[in-house]
């Protein structure tokens, strides 16, 4: 696998800084409204290329209001446009959203990525992108990017190592043999048309793990116990030591076999778990139930036993990790993707469909450099979650979670789409979430912490997104709370000295249509108000009032509500708030 310099997080940090400076200066630098400005920072996300395709991503220019499309040029010839990005897994869901006439007032998002396919192996290609206005006028070229496709990888088909693929035979050892045999830049293949049952398997850096069939988790808890530890592993694991470059991709399914399933959702055909919780685990769990019972037999409390459920994927200490290319992630016993101390992670075209599996966050990320694009989320908990530890030790010793770019995705159900916390001790910062459709989530931006946790979240831009049916979970489009609690949390910690805070957050150009609770919910602390939270050009329809407690130095410009909502602002214990039409 060709090594790639990790520049994506640097670009994200720089763009966020530029956006914040622009917001502060509030000026147009003399650019005429009719000018079509060139796209910025064209790049190939980490590992977002193989032997026949390359994904391009770019940032919008500072002034982009007149841009309607982007043309992609390869070796000087036009090869496509971003509005016709057929290889995006999110775009069919986004297109269906806008075809619904009830969404005609929703903010239109911009696709600013493109997947170029049908390429030749081991070949260099040169790309530029031009912005296009409604009249077809093009901008100048973006910066130029030259990317070489990989060589055709050597295939390590698991059936050649003894895997049966009948959905009944335990194929763990055969799959592991293929992984162990796989050479650098090689591909371990789970072939299409078969179901391979497996316990915990262990990947390594510099390989591709491609699932075109179904990888089905065993229902036996013993198949996840790593020898000598007594602890349950995930279905797919990797622990690196100076390791990098791992891809988990394919057109198939990774199924954790965690919970019994009900009828799929009617309009999307997304899977629906039966009701899952600590109260229903013995009745509705599969692997989850057996792991819970096994832990109870060992004398653990209900809460501790419930926490021993396996994740679907757990990757630690490997930099440059890539997930997606059409791969579906379903039915985990607990979390879906746990990314621990892994910098430069990309989700591109991942289909994370885990509703209503309890605690099934889409991805839990705790490091530097995360890019999420072209993905579909429909989860049983938070979709994209950032976790920075809790308590005094984490506040002192951990590094912040930083440099995140989430764009051009479709979010269905889930407690929150973009979520900071509840573990916030080392700070969560420099997040750009833009051009996403959120239809059915419990919150678009969910910031949550509690006294004793410490840290907080800052320098967040959430913009140019359409939110609808914010009815899952708390049902509040925008949440900033320092009073979050988790009844199934385990593990004691020394409380942090500093109280948590959310600050320097901008929500810009968003539409919200339908929410079961408060349009905006802010709950700070008497001794630590949230501060510098700014809303501009945000419309709320069919929501309840905004409820704000302990907020300071914040503004609300052109924030509108239904005319039937006579008094949309419930503000207490707050000062220096500016409301401007």
Helix (H, G, I), strand (E, B) or coil at 259: strand
User: What are the structure tokens assigned to 442, written together?
Assistant: 């419990």
Q: For residue 184, give every residue at least 6 positions away whose Cβ sits within 8 Å of its Cβ, in sequence order, or none.
A: 1, 206, 207
Active-site residues, by number, are 381, 415
* Spatial contact of 398 and 426, defined as CB atoms under 8 Å apart: yes
Residue closest to 239 by CA, chosen among 277, 204, 274, 198:
204
User: What are the structure tokens assigned to 119, written together?
Assistant: 């390429």
146 burial (CB, 10 Å; 0-12 / 13-18 / 19+) is: exposed
- Rounded distance, CA 366 to CA 388, Å? 6
- Rounded distance, CA 342 to CA 56, Å? 22
Exposure string (b/e) for 215-237, b if CB count within 10 Å is 16 or more? bbbbbbbebbbeeeeeebbbbbb
Q: Where are the beta strands (DSSP E) in 17-81?
A: 40-43, 54-59, 67-74, 77-81
Helix (H, G, I), strand (E, B) or coil at 20: helix
User: What are the structure tokens assigned to 483, written together?
Assistant: 């009073």
Q: What angle do CA 41, 42, 47 make, to 5 degrees?
A: 115
Tell me the Ramachandran region of residue 157: left when phi exceeds 0, alpha when psi lies from -120 to 50, beta otherwise.
Answer: beta
- Rounded distance, CA 270 to CA 115, Å? 24
The continuous run of DSSP H or E covering 178 comes out as: helix 172-181
Q: What is each CA distance from 571 to 140, 475, 549, 568, in whole angstroms?
A: 47, 19, 6, 10
Helix (H, G, I), strand (E, B) or coil at 53: coil
* DSSP for residue 374: S
Q: For residue 563, give every residue at least 6 positions away whose Cβ sits within 8 Å of its Cβ, in sequence order, or none.
A: none
């Amino acid at each position: 696998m060709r090594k790639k310099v990790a520049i994506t997080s640097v670009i994200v940090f720089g763009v966020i800084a530029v956006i914040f400076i622009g917001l502060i200066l509030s000026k147009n630098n003399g650019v005429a409204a009719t000018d079509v400005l060139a796209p910025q920072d064209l790049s190939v996300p980490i590992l977002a290329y193989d032997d026949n395709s390359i994904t391009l991503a770019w940032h919008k220019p500072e002034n982009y209001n007149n841009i309607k499309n982007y043309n992609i040029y390869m070796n000087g010839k036009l090869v496509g446009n971003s509005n016709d990005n057929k290889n995006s897994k999110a775009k069919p869901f986004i297109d269906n959203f806008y075809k619904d006439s009830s969404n005609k007032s929703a903010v239109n998002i911009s696709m600013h990525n493109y997947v170029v396919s049908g390429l030749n192996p081991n070949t260099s290609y040169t790309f530029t992108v031009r912005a296009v206005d409604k009249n077809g006028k093009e901008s100048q070229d973006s910066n130029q990017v030259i990317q070489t496709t990989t060589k055709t990888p050597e295939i390590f088909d698991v059936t050649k190592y003894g895997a049966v693929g009948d959905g009944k035979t335990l194929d763990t050892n055969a799959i592991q043999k293929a992984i162990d045999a796989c050479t650098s830049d090689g591909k371990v293949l789970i072939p299409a048309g078969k179901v391979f049952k497996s316990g915990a398997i262990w990947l390594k850096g510099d390989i591709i793990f491609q699932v075109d069939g179904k990888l089905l988790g065993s229902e036996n808890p013993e198949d996840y116990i790593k020898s000598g530890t007594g602890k349950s592993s995930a279905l797919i694991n990797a622990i690196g030591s100076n390791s990098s470059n791992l891809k988990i991709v394919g057109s198939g399914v990774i199924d954790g076999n965690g919970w019994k399933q009900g009828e799929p959702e009617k309009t999307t055909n997304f899977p629906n778990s039966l009701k899952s919780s600590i109260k229903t685990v013995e009745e509705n769990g599969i692997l989850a139930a057996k792991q819970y019972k096994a832990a109870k037999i060992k004398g653990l409390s209900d809460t501790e036993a419930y926490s021993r459920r396996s994740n679907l994927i757990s990757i630690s200490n490997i930099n440059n990790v890539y997930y997606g290319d059409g791969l579906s992630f379903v039915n985990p016993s607990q979390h879906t993707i746990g990314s621990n101390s892994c910098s430069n992670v990309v989700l591109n075209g991942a289909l994370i469909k885990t509703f209503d599996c309890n605690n099934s966050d889409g991805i839990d990320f705790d490091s530097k450099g995360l890019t999420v694009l072209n993905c579909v989320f429909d989860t049983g908990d938070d979709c994209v979650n950032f976790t920075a530890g809790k308590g005094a030790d984490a506040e002192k010793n951990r590094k912040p979670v930083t440099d995140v770019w989430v764009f051009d995705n479709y979010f269905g159900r889930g407690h929150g789409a973009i979520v900071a916390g509840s573990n916030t001790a080392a700070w969560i910062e420099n997040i750009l979430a833009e051009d996403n459709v959120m239809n059915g989530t419990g919150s678009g931006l969910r910031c949550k912490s509690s006294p004793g946790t410490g840290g907080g979240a800052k320098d967040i831009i959430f913009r140019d997104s359409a939110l609808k049916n914010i009815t899952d979970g708390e049902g509040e489009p925008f949440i900033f709370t320092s009073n979050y609690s988790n009844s199934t949390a385990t593990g004691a910690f020394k409380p942090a000295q500093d109280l948590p805070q959310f600050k320097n957050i901008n929500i810009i150009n968003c539409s919200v249509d339908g929410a079961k609770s408060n349009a905006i919910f802010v709950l700070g602390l008497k001794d630590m108000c949230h501060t510098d939270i700014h809303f501009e050009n945000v419309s709320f329809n069919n929501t309840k009032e905004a409820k704000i407690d302990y907020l300071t130095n914040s503004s609300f410009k052109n924030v509108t509500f239904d005319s039937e909502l006579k008094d949309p602002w419930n503000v207490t214990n707050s000062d220096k708030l500016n409301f401007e039409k």
